[in-house]
């Protein structure tokens, strides 16, 4: 399987659920509103997820975590999902997701922005 397409079915369902949320709510709300709506849509899509839980941060080959950070969602224990409600995604947002993937030892992430007129998203793979 092409690594860029890893967890394709899961990410497609997450993106579809995100479009449903944006179609109904549009832009202009705080991120937490989109989180709550997306959680409902993920359940409807029969996807398991953890929301806003402390994720352990790992450094290089260390076996013990060096701290924790809250991710918006980890779906099916495989895909990190970071939500934003900003006018435009910036490089710092992409860097945040890539750093989270590395620190959480995950391979695939989605950065989803509900803040623009049209839903925007980036699929990131380590």
Give the CATH number for residue 17.
3.40.1350
Return the SS3 of 8: helix
Element (H, E) at 14: helix 8-25
| pTM score of the predicted model | 0.88
Provide the percentage of residues in the chain whose pLDDT is more than 70.
97
Element (H, E) at 103: helix 91-104
Which pLDDT value is given to residue 4? 62
Tell me how many domains the chain contains.
1
Structural domain boundaries enclosing 38 = 3-125
Q: Do 35 and 85 meet the contact criterion of CB atoms below 8 Å apart?
A: no
How confident is the model over 37-79, as pLDDT tens digits? 999 999 999 999 999 878 788 888 898 989 888 889 999 999 9
First to last CA, the chain: 15
């Amino acid at each position: 399987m092409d690594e860029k397409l890893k967890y394709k079915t899961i990410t497609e369902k997450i993106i579809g659920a995100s479009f449903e949320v944006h179609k109904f709510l549009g832009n202009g709300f705080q991120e937490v509103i989109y989180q709550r709506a997306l959680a409902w849509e993920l359940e409807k899509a029969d996807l398991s997820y953890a929301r806003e839980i402390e994720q352990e941060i790992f450094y290089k080959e260390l076996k013990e975590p060096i701290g924790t950070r809250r991710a918006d969602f980890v779906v099916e224990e495989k895909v990190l999902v970071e939500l934003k409600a900003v006018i435009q995604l910036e490089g710092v947002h992409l860097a945040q997701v890539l750093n989270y993937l590395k620190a959480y030892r995950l391979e695939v992430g989605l950065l989803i922005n509900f803040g623009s007129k049209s839903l925007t998203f980036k699929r990131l793979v380590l």
